């Protein structure tokens, strides 16, 4: 489902009695009656399009509406291509996560950060582990320290029930930082 480009009023759909007219060359003609504007558009073999309906009087331009609408739709498509929807990825730990698992999950988090996504690190406690919440805080602080070069901490570690979590987002120039890392590794 693609969002539709809002259509401007054209020719006889324009309800204002006087309009500020712009010619097909882009020259300002001035404030004229709607009938004069329609006549000028008809003589040029083009359409009268209401460009700025909220102006006083509304601004209308003489142009080929089909081509104008196509260009506007194309611009919307291009702008949608450039958008990146930030997602939050979650990486889960236990309070007694071993070094190998820790490094593996940290590498996955770096992949997510490379994709410009936020990462939520969660430490989940089971049973009696809850008595040692400080282990979870230490683990999250270690993670934040290890990744401080490529990400910013959105908020300090927070405890909620049986979990402790922290959310980080990638730095603005993460692509350059990762590139530098990879150069250092190859040396």
Question: pLDDT confidence of 123, banded at 50, 70, 90?
Answer: very high
Please give the sequence-ordered ranges of beta strands (E in DSSP) within the chain, or none if there are none: 18-22, 28-33, 47-52, 59-63, 88-93, 118-124, 151-153, 158-160, 163-170
CA atoms lying within 13 Å on the CB side of residue 105: 20
Domain boundary assignment for the chain: 11-81, 88-186
Closest by CA position to 25, among listed 61, 79, 71: 61
Dihedral angle computed from the Cα positions of residues 63, 66, 68 and 74, in that order, rounded to the nearest 10 degrees: -170
CATH of domain 11-81: 3.10.20.80
Lowest mean pLDDT among 8-12, 94-98, 114-118: 8-12
R_g over Cα of the chain = 29
- Per cent of the chain over pLDDT 90 is 10
Please give the sequence-ordered ranges of beta strands (E in DSSP) within 47-186, or none if there are none: 47-52, 59-63, 88-93, 118-124, 151-153, 158-160, 163-170
Question: pLDDT confidence of 1, banded at 50, 70, 90?
Answer: very low
Question: What average pLDDT is seen over the chain?
Answer: 84
Look at residue 153 and tell me whether its pLDDT is greater than 60: yes
> Could you tell me the pTM of the whole model?
0.55
Question: pLDDT confidence of 5, banded at 50, 70, 90?
Answer: low
Domain 88-186 has CATH 3.40.309.10: no
Convert the pLDDT of each residue in 74-101 to its tens digit: 888 888 877 777 788 899 998 888 999 9
Lowest mean pLDDT among 3-7, 49-53, 182-186: 3-7
Look at residue 68 and tell me whether its pLDDT is greater than 80: yes
CA distance 35 to 12: 9
CA distance 12 to 25: 22
């Amino acid at each position: 489902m693609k969002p539709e480009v809002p259509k401007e009023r054209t020719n006889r759909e324009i309800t204002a009695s006087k309009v500020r007219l712009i010619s097909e060359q882009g020259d300002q003609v001035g404030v004229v009656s709607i009938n004069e504007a329609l006549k000028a558009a008809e003589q040029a073999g083009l359409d009268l399009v209401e460009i700025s309906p909220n102006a006083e009087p509304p601004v209308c331009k003489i142009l080929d509406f089909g081509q104008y609408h196509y260009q506007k739709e194309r611009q919307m498509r291009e702008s949608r291509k450039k958008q990146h929807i930030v997602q939050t990825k979650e990486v889960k730990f236990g309070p007694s996560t071993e070094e190998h698992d820790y490094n593996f999950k940290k590498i996955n988090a770096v992949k997510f950060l490379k994709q410009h996504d936020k990462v939520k690190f969660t430490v989940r406690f089971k049973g009696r582990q809850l008595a040692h919440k400080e282990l979870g805080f230490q683990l999250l602080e270690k993670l934040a320290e290890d990744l401080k070069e490529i990400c910013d901490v959105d908020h300090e570690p927070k405890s909620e029930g049986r979990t402790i979590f922290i959310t980080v987002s990638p730095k603005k120039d993460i692509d350059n930082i990762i590139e530098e890392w990879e150069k250092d590794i190859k040396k």
